[in-house]
Homo-oligomer: A and B are copies of this chain.
């Protein structure tokens, strides 16, 4: 892997507090690869070989059952995924596929396991990462069970706005069909819900959303940090962490 990629990894919460020799040894084995769009990186049911770190692009985590398919999360740089499988030798519960051309660092699991044993700071960081991933999925499940689809969309828009620094306007980071599936609805209903939200403080032009009346939108979404995640106003300012929790921070 290229030397200029290493600092990006080093800044990640998972690697930040790790001892330098442990980090360097991992970096020696790790390799970085560029993948074309729509490539299946991981298939659910397989066993983990690598810890993946996305450096550039975006990756979709999705699950399949009985011919149906659902997007469970979207991973943006710089962020790891499938850490859980490094710890637990069990098959992946989700598949992963690139959404666009993506640069991904892959670290063999065996080496990650060795590093976890050797470096207790790394182990603690991994624990925090796993706990964070766990909490993300608890929130996702709460969102699905407690809100209806219109409320989920409204909350997503507010969360997205907040994440980008309380901007009033932004473009969707993913295709609408992908967002729809992530939010647990059909593309048709996402389209209709977008339309409905035009009466509740959002204006939509193709993939650009603009919040015209935050109070009205908030009244629909009723944001709650225990469901929508912590407020991340400062994240855009801190390099390396800027996008790690974009939609979901996944760990395996």
Binding site for B on A (CB under 8 A): 44-45, 63-66, 68-70, 72, 83-85, 87-88, 90-94, 116-117, 120, 123-124, 126-128, 130-135, 137-142, 144-147, 184, 222, 224-227, 230, 251-252
Contacts and interface: CB of A to CB of B under 8 A. Distances in A.
A146 B87 contact: no
A97 to B, nearest CB: 16
A68 B146 contact: yes
Contact of A226 (B88, B93, B131, B140): B93
A91 B139 CA distance: 12
Nearest to A130: B130
A69 B17 CA distance: 39
Given A127-B127, A130-B131, A144-B145, A224 B94 contact: no
Contacts of A88: 128, 131-132, 135
16 contacts: A63-B138, A65-B147, A72-B141, A84-B135, A87-B131, A91-B225, A94-B138, A116-B127, A120-B120, A123-B123, A123-B127, A127-B127, A127-B130, A131-B252, A134-B137, A145-B184
A227 to B, nearest CB: 6
B128 A90 contact: no
B128 A63 contact: no
A227 B87 CA distance: 19
B84 A142 contact: no
Contacts of A230: 90
A93 B135 contact: yes
B123 A91 contact: no
Given A93-B226, A124-B116, A63 B145 contact: yes
A144 B140 CA distance: 11
Minimum-distance CB pairs A-B, first 9: A137-B137, A84-B131, A130-B130, A134-B134, A70-B145, A88-B131, A65-B146, A87-B131, A63-B142
A130 B86 CA distance: 12
Contacts of A145: 63, 70, 72, 144, 184
A245 B63 CA distance: 22
A73 to B, nearest CB: 9
A88 to B, nearest CB: 4
A139 B65 CA distance: 11
A120 B121 CA distance: 10
